[in-house]
Structure 1
Amino acid sequence: MSRPQCSRCLRPTAHCLCPLIPSLDSRTRVLLLQHPSEVNHALNTARLAALGLNKAQLVVGEVFEDLPTLLNPPGYQARLLFPADDAQPLQAYAPGDQPLLLVVPDGTWRKARKLLHLNPLLAALPRVTLAEGAVSRYRLRKAPGPGALSTVEAIVQALQVLEAPTSFEPLLKPFEALIEGQIAAMGDEVFQRNHGDGRLG
């Protein structure tokens, strides 16, 4: 029998994160394109980001038929937050800059690349990237490499750069509570055995 679930954050009712989810305004719009395999993941950080940002939209799928419309909201220029040799490092908006529609694929690296492969319009977008050296707070999963962040962490870091000095740290509150809850559920001994000192490898 499945446990009762919050219809908003999709967490078990006893572990609902909604009281911790902020309601943040941003100049930037965020479009999260989530691979279906991520929807029921215990750490669905894209959903947390979408709930906490007033200008965020979460769309689940592999092929997005309405992509031309999604990528062209009036008054915004779309950029794909995804690594590439020609990706431009994000910089703070200059006065008069048109705000960005930040397009963020959500899934494992393999699944995210599949989304790009299946949606040529997505793959054709100019790409932007975060500064190197970011350290994830995601202590439950070994990062595939340095600078690998969860979806919500990547969005927070991107917005902090684009809209400095505005802080988007409150968006990480439910994420951190989620991590703490998962660690508590597995027990300290199991956590230490599997994740060492808690730092990502």
Structure 2
Amino acid sequence: MSRIQCPRCQRPQSHCLCPLIPCLDSRTRVLLLQHPSEVNHALNTARLAALGLNNAELIVGEVFEDLPRLLNQPGYRARLLFPADDAQPIQTYGASDEPLLLVVPDGTWRKARKILHLNPLLAALPRVTLADGGVSRYRLRKAPGPGALSTVEAIVQALQVLEAPVSFEPLLRPFEALIEGQIAAMGEETFRRNHAGK
């Protein structure tokens, strides 16, 4: 018998995160393109980001037929948040800057690259990147390298820079509760043995 799920956050009703999900306005529009393999992931941080930001949209797929319309939002400059040699570091908006449509692929690095490969229009977008040295709070997964963040952490870091001094930290509350819940479920001893110090 399956547990009853919250229709909004899609967590089991007994572990619903909705009371922790903020309702934040942002000048930046966030477009999350989620690989289908992430949809049922226990730690679906892209969903948390989309639920917590009023100016965000989450679309699931590998090939996005509607991409031309999605990327041409009046009043926004589309930028892909993804590393590349020519990616520009994200910078705080100037007074007259047109806000960004921040396009964020969501999936493992391999799956995110596949999304870019299958959507040439996406791969052709100018890229922006986060400052080096971001440390993930995602204590349940070994990061593939320094600065590797979960999707919600990357979005928070990007918005904190773009829209400084506005704080988007509240977006991380449900994410941290999710991590704590996973650690509690596996037991502190198992967590220490398998994850602590990694």
Range of TM-score over shorter length: over 0.9
Aligned to 1:13: 13
Tell me which amino acid in the other structure corresponds to 2:181: G
Q: Counterpart of 1:128 in 2: which secondary structure?
A: strand
- Mapping of residues 150-165 of structure 1, within 5 Å: 150-165=150-165
Distance of 1:2 and 1:155 partners within structure 2: 32
Q: How many residues align?
A: 198
- Mapping of residues 64-79 of structure 1, within 5 Å: 64-79=64-79
Aligned to 2:34: 34
Deviations 1:126-167 (A, max 9, x none): 000000000000000000000000000000000000000000
Measured after TM superposition, the shift of residue 2 of structure 1 is: 1.1
Aligned to 2:101: 101
Tell me which amino acid in the other structure corresponds to 1:149: L
Deviations 1:148-194 (A, max 9, x none): 00000000000000000000000000000000000000000100000
Aligned to 2:25: 25
Tell me which amino acid in the other structure corresponds to 2:122: L
The reply to whether residue 139 of structure 1 matches residue 139 of structure 2 is: yes
Unaligned runs of 5+ in 1: none
TM-score by length of 1: 0.98
Tell me which amino acid in the other structure corresponds to 2:151: T
CA RMSD after TM alignment: 0.5
* Identity, % of aligned positions: 85
Deviations 1:76-130 (A, max 9, x none): 0100000000000000000100000000000000000000000000000000000
Measured after TM superposition, the shift of residue 196 of structure 1 is: 2.3
Aligned to 1:166: 166
Aligned to 1:127: 127
Tell me which amino acid in the other structure corresponds to 2:6: C
Q: Counterpart of 1:102 in 2: which secondary structure?
A: strand
Unaligned runs of 5+ in 2: none
TM-score by length of 2: 0.99
Distance of 1:195 and 1:38 partners within structure 2: 21
Tell me which amino acid in the other structure corresponds to 2:26: S
Is the 8 Å Cα contact of residues 90 and 129 (structure 2) preserved in structure 1? yes
- Structure 1 segments, 4+ long, off by >4 Å, are none
Aligned to 1:181: 181
Distance of 1:95 and 1:21 partners within structure 2: 30
Is the 8 Å Cα contact of residues 139 and 196 (structure 2) preserved in structure 1? no
Q: Counterpart of 2:158 in 1: which secondary structure?
A: helix
Aligned to 1:91: 91
